[in-house]
Amino acid sequence: MNVCRVRILDIPVDVINKKRAEKKVEQMLMENKSHTIIAINPEKVIAARYDSTLKEALENADLLLPDGAGLVWAARIFGYNGIQRIPGADFMENICKIAARRNCGVFIYGSREEVNRKATQILQKRYPRLRIAGRCHGYIDEEKMDELIEMINASGAIVLFVALGSPKQEKWMMKYLPRLNKVRICQGIGGTLDTLAGYSKRAPKWIQYLQAEWLYRLLREPWRIKRQKALIQFAKLVLKEKAR
């Protein structure tokens, strides 16, 4: 299944909705090669403009989830209809449902040990048929990375979730995925494990519906103001580009 990929501020974005994204995952699982799934938002677009390695990871991704109301707004500003916001945290669970149905082993890598363990337990309870092939916290020294790669390969996992935060997780995926001989899908999930484990709260459903999660997070965590400045920069650049 082909996905329409466009460029916003010279950064690739997939014009897709959740249903088509799920079909894409089903297709990926049937192919004898590895695939990367990355959620992209305005902050990541701005970061990729200054980080060539991050941009390369986005360019090479097999599926770029439009995560962020600002990104959907920008796509529509440029006339790219048919795009739907797909939060990476939500889509992780969509992949878990598919993996459970297909009996695909899942490996969860990243975050603190207690967060990783609790999030894994919650996923197992939420999806009893989900086969957790293995897990590991995200505090692995570079000299021990070979051991982690061997652990993932030995687990037989078909799906790998990487929770290292951006851009570290994207760079890790680009560097090490070629060495994972059984993984077919690798998704970067940022702080999703913290949310699953209850260490970080998502906005209520009605706020998510209004696509105002960014405001909710800012009010709860004022220190995010520095990160939210990227939203303002993104909006200015989009409007400037549109005016051209």
The 3-state secondary structure of 21-81 reads HHHHHHHHHHCCCCEEEEEECHHHHHHHHHCHHHHHHHHHCCEEEECCHHHHHHHHHCCCC
Residue 142 burial (C-beta neighbours within 10 Å; 0-12, 13-18, 19+):
exposed
pLDDT band at 209 (very low <50, low <70, confident <90, very high): low
Instruction: Provide the phi-psi class of 180: left if phi over 0, else alpha when psi is between -120 and 50, else beta.
Output: beta
Give the number of other Cβ atoms within 10 Å of residue 82's Cβ. 11
Judged against a pLDDT cut of 60, whether residue 221 lies above it is answered with: no
Residue 147 CB-half CA count within 13 A: 7
Least confident segment among 98-102, 109-113, 219-223, 225-229: 219-223
Give strand pairing partners of 161: 108, 187
- Taking the model in full, what pTM does it have? 0.89
Residue 54 tokens, joined: 């991050």
Average pLDDT for the chain: 90
CA neighbor of 180 nearest in space, from 145, 132, 131: 145
Model confidence at 35, in pLDDT bands (50, 70, 90)?
very high
Looking at residue 199, its pLDDT comes to 75
Mean pLDDT of 37-54: 95
pLDDT of residue 244: 81
**pLDDT tens for residues 137-166?**
999 999 999 999 999 999 999 999 999 999
Strands 4-8 and 11-15: antiparallel
Residue 230 has pLDDT above 90, yes or no: no
Q: What's the rounded Cα separation, in Å, for the pair 30 and 14?
A: 21
Give the model's pLDDT for residue 89: 92
Contact 84, 66 (CB under 8 A): yes
The pLDDT score that the predictor gives to residue 17 is 95
Predicted confidence at residue 164, as pLDDT, reads 97
Answer yes or no: are the C-beta atoms of 31 and 57 closer than 8 Å.
no
Q: Note the pLDDT tens digit of each residue in 67-121.
A: 988 899 999 999 998 899 999 999 999 999 999 999 999 999 999 999 999 999 9
**Using 50, 70 and 90 to split pLDDT, how confident is the model at 224?**
low
Q: Give the start-end residues of each E strand in 74-221.
A: 106-110, 132-136, 159-163, 185-188
Lowest mean pLDDT: which of 34-38, 157-161, 177-181, 206-210? 206-210
CA distance 88 to 65: 7
Domains of the chain listed by start with CATH number: 27-197 (3.40.50)
The pair phi, psi for residue 109, each rounded to 5°, is -120, 130
